Amino acid sequence: MSLLSIPVATLGTPRIGPRRELKLALESYWAGKSDETQLLEAAAALRAANWARQKSLGVTVIPSNDFSLYDHVLDVSVMVGAIPEIYGWSAGPVSLKTYFAMARGAQRDDHDANCGHAEHGAAAQEMTKWFDTNYHYMVPEFHKDQTFTLSSRKPIEEYEEAKSLGCQTRPVLVGPVTFLKLGKSADPAFDPLLLLDRLLPVYVDVLRELTLRGAEWV
């Protein structure tokens, strides 16, 4: 086997951008100086640049869904509908205001149609270290009557986004057991792993959709 035929894979790429473009776009959005469309356009441009850069450098197994506006674990909470009642979401697409309320908390004037209770103020979810690194994630919150539903198609949409740009990618997902183990319950006697059978159908839906769209490896 020649060196040119050896597969080269990456697990993910930094999402911040070479000139901290994501940080600047987020701060502008949070300050009300830009709108949701501008933020999402900046995010899409960063993803496209990351995929193109890896492809040009000879990476043959390029990841998708390694990008996040804030945190990968929070993205899974949103994907499976594990959103505490305080944030006012009940069903349907999750708005950016709800997403960032979970990440940063919500002020009295942050009310919108998908974030009903945030007008009264809502604290951010707990943040803790990802294993023994300096990276932090938003801790999922579970209870014994927890239900899950596919409420964000981010992994599927970003796979198709890359494909439209000529990149066949390997979608990256936080696994269901890892997700539950990283979470917490208000009841210390309740083990979130007991929710695995309820959570798995959402993952099955995501994997099925990715397969139908041509994903070969997750």
Sign of CA dihedral 177, 135, 57, 50: positive
Q: Residue 182 falls within a domain, yes or no?
A: yes
Tokens 């494909």 correspond to 163
Residues 184 and 84 sit within 8 Å (Cβ to Cβ): no
Please write the tens of the pLDDT for every residue from 166-217.
999 999 999 999 999 999 998 989 999 999 999 999 999 999 999 999 999 9
Per the structure, the complete domain to which residue 161 belongs is given by: 70-83+135-218
Tally of domains within the chain = 1
Which residues have a Cβ under 8 Å from the Cβ of 127 and sit 6 or more positions away? 136, 137, 138, 139
Q: Residue 18 falls within a domain, yes or no?
A: no
> Has residue 111 got a pLDDT over 50?
no
Count the residues in the chain: 218
Q: Which residues are bridge partners to 61 per DSSP?
A: 9
Q: Residue 53 falls within a domain, yes or no?
A: no
Output DSSP code: residue 148. -
Output DSSP code: residue 116. G
- pLDDT value at position 130? 85
Instruction: Tell me the mean pLDDT in the region 96-106.
Output: 94
Q: Residue 91 falls within a domain, yes or no?
A: no
